[in-house]
Chain A
């Protein structure tokens, strides 16, 4: 994200001293001025609640006995909490499988669209992007119905084709089924990010490559992919963060698969249950903060690796 350095303005002789002062002195404050509105709301909406959350995590408010300061007890409890770690492991697994698949499909489709070798490119672009416009509630309802193995699509396929497809909502398969819903929802969105990044690659690069006799696959590997590295990294980071925070889909699907989706299925579901069913906000705050730290570490590592490769 380096700013394009301005070439020497032709015909406008400025005393170098004055320009430097302009660049360092006042420009600073103006920069802050533009960013300030965002940051103010950000402080209200994120920083204040995070601060309050940290504060809450140091106390314990019980039904009998009221509020008391417990220091790092909640964190100690979180480290020994089997339910928390199983949820964390589950989203880790989800992440390792679903994110590459989804980004892979998105990348392939973006490359296909960009290659210009498709009939009806615009139709493809719009229709693959459509699921992003569907709210998670609706998407989960639709897929939830189709997964029904007594009256849903799976049942119909079983009946009419004589198959015996396994129940997508059984404990073994439910995570994959949720992965399918998430992939369906977000492939188009990521595809559009990649496609936009591909679209801004200057034509001159392709012409140069063509003159040198490069084939399509060569161009993809050596021109296109490196050029969109930034978009790839950002998409990966946002997908990772999204995976760690998986909540909407399992929450809505839970009523259809109450025994397969436990209240601690993902860390977010766990903190939600702790806060709202168990009224244990202090412990929930501690778990959430641990979760946030883990997410940030992973996201940071990904960003470092992604940015380092291009140096």
Chain B
């Protein structure tokens, strides 16, 4: 009897196991490796049109809130196409998920939102499609130089710019008026303003900073620095003897040493509070910020204004990009034409206007130069026509900047290295040096030739 019982047991267990393994409920589409298309752009472009006519379904991974409306409009226009919009995490979280999916060969979406600094990593890993085959090369004039440079990697176009982040200075006018501080036009004046503010009100700070890789690299960019140089798989990292970096550290070290920066991490509860109650008086960031002001700092509406980013040298007119993302078509997608059709609609076609209305800051020159855009008044900024400032900034973005092909990783260890300068007596230059060393080590580990 026992043997029978055991056999029954074994059968039961086997059934259980089989049932467990057999039950699958696949979430996203995506599939095995599709081959890359041929180089014939005409064929590619018409392929897109016929794909739209035929219909199908695609999955889009993006966290950009304005895309929801774009998807709705797209589906209304092309009822045969099913678009599934999934928020698979913000920034790094989504890149991790993307890389995992690519490695597993399963679950890769057709379209993914990838920020400019991260795109080269995916291009290098050959997991995003070169959109040149669909005619994207002709779109250079459509976009402002900063974003276009970021998607134009090694001759290929690996994504279409979705928004951009030319930098500007947002300042709390109420606070500035209260303490009679003039709007700074150079970073040295900014330093003086910081001192004046903090002396008058020890609880207030000119801005908050606990170490942010994006802001640091953007400011070094604005100062003309070129610490990264990338040539295929030859990479070099040099903060030590880079003049732009020295200009940045000269000013920023003083801000840190004199405790003029609020020790509040960005995007936290406390940070929103600080922006609302005036204890964080300025923000130097990308032109996409107004939407966040409106939703997150509603109580300070009317207190803030926009101004051009302070210059490193008086009389100059340099700017840089901070943030901004593109939409890329993943190589593993089985529906590349349809995916490109969506990307084109969202970033070049009617989707652009929809997103601008939703609060996104465009990357398209036509919109950046259009009178309607420039004349838009911002109730949040007291009716200021802030787009004029942003548009100017976009035109003045310095060229020649590169990110590392593994910038995602490099940014993730920024606080481990440079962060020390914010919480101890380590000088900023030593922190940057440590970051440089760690970045070089990683590059070598990954097979790059790092100089």
Contacts and interface: CB of A to CB of B under 8 A. Distances in A.
Contact present between A and B (CB < 8 A): yes
Interface of A: 26, 29-30, 33, 36-37, 40, 62-65, 145, 148, 150-152, 170-171, 255-260, 262-264, 273, 276-280
A33 B12 CA distance: 11
B249 to A, nearest CB: 17
Nearest to B262: A150
Interface in B226-265: 233, 262, 264-265
Given A36-B13, A63-B406, A259-B420, A150 B264 contact: yes
Interface of B, secondary structure class, is helix
Residue of A33, A63, A255, A257 with most chain B CB atoms under a 10 A cut-off: A63
Contact of B96 (A171, A256, A276): A276
A63 B447 CA distance: 7
A258 B408 contact: no
Nearest to A149: B263
B206 to A, nearest CB: 16
Contacts, number: 91
B273 interface: yes
Given A40-B17, A259-B423, A33 B5 contact: yes
B210 A259 contact: yes
Nearest to B125: A63
Given A29-B2, A171-B423, A277-B92, A255 B9 contact: no
Contacts of B270: 148, 150-152
Interface stretch (B46-54, B133-141, B294-302, B411-419): B411-419
Contacts of B409: 277-279
Interface of B: 2, 5-6, 9-10, 13, 16-17, 92, 96, 99-100, 124-125, 210-211, 233, 262, 264-265, 267-270, 273-274, 279, 405-406, 408-409, 412-413, 415-416, 419-420, 422-424, 442, 445-448
B5 A259 contact: no
Contacts of A277: 92, 96, 408-409, 412-413
A64 B447 contact: yes
6 residue pairs, one from A and one from B, having the closest CB atoms: A64-B447, A259-B419, A65-B447, A62-B447, A277-B412, A63-B446
Contact of B269 (A29, A62, A151, A280): A151
B269 A145 contact: yes
A148 B269 contact: yes
Contacts of B268: 255-256
A37 B13 contact: yes
Residue of B99, B100, B413 with most chain A CB atoms under a 10 A cut-off: B413
Contact of B423 (A151, A260, A279): A260
A33 B412 contact: no
B412 A263 contact: yes
A30 B4 CA distance: 11
Given A40-B13, A170-B423, A171-B423, A263 B406 contact: no
A13 B85 CA distance: 74
Contacts of B406: 63
A264 B447 CA distance: 23
Nearest to B212: A258
Given A26-B2, A148-B269, A64 B274 contact: no
B9 A36 contact: yes
A259 B265 CA distance: 10
A277 B93 CA distance: 9
A52 to B, nearest CB: 13
14 contacts: A29-B6, A36-B10, A36-B13, A148-B270, A150-B270, A151-B269, A171-B423, A256-B268, A258-B265, A263-B415, A277-B92, A277-B408, A277-B413, A280-B445
